[in-house]
C-alpha cells in the first residue's frame, strides 16, 4: 500500500513533467506527497571568496541566516512554480511539505526517504546538466542503487529524441 511519496526535484527543465507524474500517483493512491530539493554545499572557492571579504562574525551570520533565507526563498519559489504550473489548489493540497536541504543530492534524497518513511520515491532520469547520450543521471543512478523503497523513474524521453536527430 502506498500512503506517502517523496518527489525529488532538481528544479530543471523537466521538473514539471516529473511533478505531473508525482501528482497523478498521489491522486491515484490517495497518498501524501513530499517534495525535496537538494542544494549542494558551497565549494571551496566560493567559501574562500567570502572569507576574504567578510570578517569572521559576518561570515558566521551569513552561514546562519543567509543560508536559511536563501533556502526559504527557494522553497517558496518551488511552491509558487507548482501553483503557476498546475493551478488547481486541490491537487496541490496533496503536498505535505516542500523541503530544500543542503548536501549531496543523492544522500539528501535517501535521508529524506528514511526520515519521512515514504513508500515510494519519484525521480527524473536526468539532471539538467546531463547530455542525451547518458541514459541516467548521476543522482538518479545512485538513488536507484541505494534506495530501500521502490523508485518510480520518469524517463526524460524528449531529451533522447532530440539527441537522436
**Residue 123: CATH number of its domain:** 3.40.50.620
Pick from 7-16, 34-43, 81-90, 95-104: least confident? 81-90
Structural domain for 143, as ranges: 4-164
pTM assigned to the model: 0.79
CA distance 23 to 41: 29
Total domains, the chain: 1
Q: Which residue has the higher pLDDT, 71 or 6?
A: 6
Which uninterrupted H or E stretch holds 42? none
pLDDT at 127: 61
pLDDT at 165: 46
User: What mean pLDDT, rounded, does the chain reach?
Assistant: 83
Portion of the chain with pLDDT greater than 70, in percent:
84
DSSP alpha helices (H): ranges in 30-66?
44-53, 56-61
Cell numbers that stand for 38 in this block: 537538494
Amino acid at each position: 500500500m502506498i500512503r506517502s511519496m517523496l518527489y525529488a526535484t532538481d528544479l530543471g527543465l523537466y521538473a514539471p513533467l516529473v511533478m505531473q507524474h508525482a501528482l497523478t500517483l498521489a491522486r491515484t493512491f490517495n497518498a501524501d506527497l513530499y517534495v525535496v530539493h537538494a542544494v549542494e554545499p558551497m565549494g571551496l572557492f566560493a567559501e574562500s571568496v567570502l572569507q576574504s571579504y567578510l570578517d569572521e562574525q559576518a561570515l558566521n551570520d551569513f552561514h546562519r541566516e543567509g543560508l536559511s533565507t536563501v533556502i526559504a526563498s527557494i522553497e517558496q519559489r518551488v511552491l509558487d512554480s507548482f501553483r503557476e504550473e498546475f493551478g488547481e489548489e486541490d491537487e496541490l493540497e496533496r503536498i505535505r511539505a516542500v523541503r530544500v536541504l543542503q548536501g549531496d543530492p543523492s544522500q539528501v534524497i535517501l535521508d529524506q526517504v528514511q526520515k519521512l518513511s515514504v513508500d515510494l520515491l519519484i525521480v527524473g532520469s536526468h539532471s539538467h546538466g546531463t547530455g542525451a547520450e547518458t541514459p541516467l543521471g548521476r543522482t538518479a543512478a545512485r538513488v536507484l542503487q541505494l534506495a530501500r523503497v521502490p523508485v518510480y523513474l520518469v524517463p526524460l524521453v524528449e531529451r533522447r529524441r532530440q539527441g537522436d536527430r
